[in-house]
Structure 1
Amino acid sequence: MTRTKSLYLLCSAAPPVFDVAHVIEDAQARGWDVCLGLTPMAAHWISQSLDGLAALTGHPVRWQYKLPGDPDVWPVADALLFAPATFNSLNAWALGLTDKFALGVAAEAVGKGTPVVTMPCTNAALAAHPQFEQSLATLRGAGVTVLFGEDGFVPGPPGVDSPPHFPWQLALDTVDATPTA
C-alpha cells in the first residue's frame, strides 16, 4: 500500500487566499493530502471558512503553534507550498523570524530538506524595496523554488486590492514536478 503524499499549503493574507478551497481541491485531485497553515491575518480573513476547510482537508487548519507536549496533528510533509506569500512574510522568513506558525513551519522545512516552493504576492512598489530582492535571493540560496517575475507571479501597481491573476496552477505544477522527500 502506498502512502499519500502530504503537502503543507501555507498562506499569507493576500487576496488569492480567498481561493484556497479550490486550490486544496485541485491539489487533492493531483494526489496530495493537504494540510493548511495560515498566518494569523490570513486566518482572520477566512475565519468563516476555517471549519469547512478543516473538513475538506481532513486536518485541523493551523495558524498558531501547538503547546509543548501536544501531539503533532499533521502527517510529515513531503513538500511545502507557501502561496500567496506576502512581502512581510517573505522578508520575515528569509530573516529567520519565526514568531508566526506558517513562518516557523516554512523555516523548518528548509532545514529538514523538504522540497519548498513559494509564490510571492505583492505589488510592484513593495517588490522594488531592496530587502525584497535580498530575501528572494536568500530563499533561493537555501534551495527554495521561488516563482516570481516572468517565471511566476508578476506584481501589479500599488493600490490594486486583488491581482488580476494569481498563477495557482503554476504553483501546483511546480510542486508536482519537484522531487519529494
Structure 2
Amino acid sequence: MTVSSATDQKPFLYVVVCASGVAADVGKLINAARQRDWSVGVVATPLGLTFLDAAAVQEQTGYPIRSTWRSPGEARPLPPADAIAVAPATFNTINKWAAGISDTLALGILCEAHGMGVPTAALPYLNAAQAAHPAYARSLEVLREMNVMIGSYEPHRPKAGGGADRFRWEEALELLEPRIGRRS
C-alpha cells in the first residue's frame, strides 16, 4: 500500500463506512474524491453495509463494496489503498480500532494501515453522550499517536436526529491530500 507514482495513475482511496444514519450520504465523499481525480473503493463494516444503497455505490465507484474477507486464492477486488478515509467513523469503530481489535474486514484494514504507512483520516460521527465516555477520548489519543488525522465534527445531542447537515465529507480529502503530495 504505497502512494501511486505513475503520473497517469489516479491515487486509490478506500472509504471505510460504519453503521450510522449519515452513511447513506457517502456518495458525497465519493463524488468529491472523483472530482479531485481519485479512484475510490468502499469497505463497509457489516452493519454499515445495511445503511448503504450498495448498487448505487458500486455503480458510482466501479468496484464492489467489500465487507468480508476474501477466500484463499480469491482475487483482490480492490487495488491497494494510497489513503483511507473512515467516514462516518462511529464510537464502536473508533474504540475497537484504537484497541487493535480486528474482528471485521474494515477494522483489519485499519489496523494494518498504520504498520503499512497508509495515510488515514477519520471523520467521527457520534452523539455527545457517547463522546463523554472516557474510552472515546483515550481512543482518539491513541489514533492521533498512530498519525491518524481526526476530523472536526462536534458530536450532536443524543436522540436529536444527529447533525448530518454539519458533517463535512470533503474534510477527509482536505486532511489526506497534503499527506500524499496532492493539492485540491
TM-score of the pair, normalised by structure 2: 0.90
How do residues 1-181 of structure 1 correspond to structure 2 at under 5 angstroms? 2-46=8-52, 49-147=53-151, 152-163=152-163, 164-179=165-180
Worse overlay, 160-169 or 26-35? 160-169
CA distance in 2, matches of 1:100, 1:161: 27
CA distance in 1, matches of 2:67, 2:94: 16
Question: Does the Cα contact within 8 Å between 1:14 and 1:86 map onto a contact in 2?
Answer: yes
CA distance in 1, matches of 2:147, 2:21: 27
CA displacement, residues 124-164 of structure 1 (integer Å, 9 cap, x when unaligned): 111111100110011111111112xxxx1101111123314
CA distance in 1, matches of 2:22, 2:169: 9
Counterpart of 2:55, as a letter, is D
Counterpart of 1:93, as a letter, is W
Query: Could you tell me how far 1:52 is from its partner in structure 2?
Result: 2.1
Identity %: 34
Q: What is the number of residues matched between the two proteins? A: 174
CA distance in 1, matches of 2:82, 2:174: 15
Query: Could you tell me how far 1:172 is from its partner in structure 2?
Result: 2.0
Q: Which runs of 5+ in 2 are unaligned?
A: 1-6
Secondary structure at 1:137's aligned position in 2? helix
CA distance in 1, matches of 2:79, 2:180: 18
CA distance in 2, matches of 1:170, 1:115: 14
Runs of 4+ in 1 over 6 A off after TM superposition: none
CA distance in 2, matches of 1:166, 1:108: 27
Worse overlay, 49-58 or 161-170? 161-170
Question: Does the Cα contact within 8 Å between 1:15 and 1:161 map onto a contact in 2?
Answer: no
CA distance in 2, matches of 1:36, 1:10: 6
Worse overlay, 91-100 or 66-75? 66-75
CA distance in 1, matches of 2:111, 2:161: 28
CA distance in 2, matches of 1:32, 1:162: 29
CA distance in 1, matches of 2:161, 2:18: 14
CA distance in 2, matches of 1:26, 1:20: 10
TM-score of the pair, normalised by structure 1: 0.91
Q: Which runs of 5+ in 1 are unaligned?
A: none
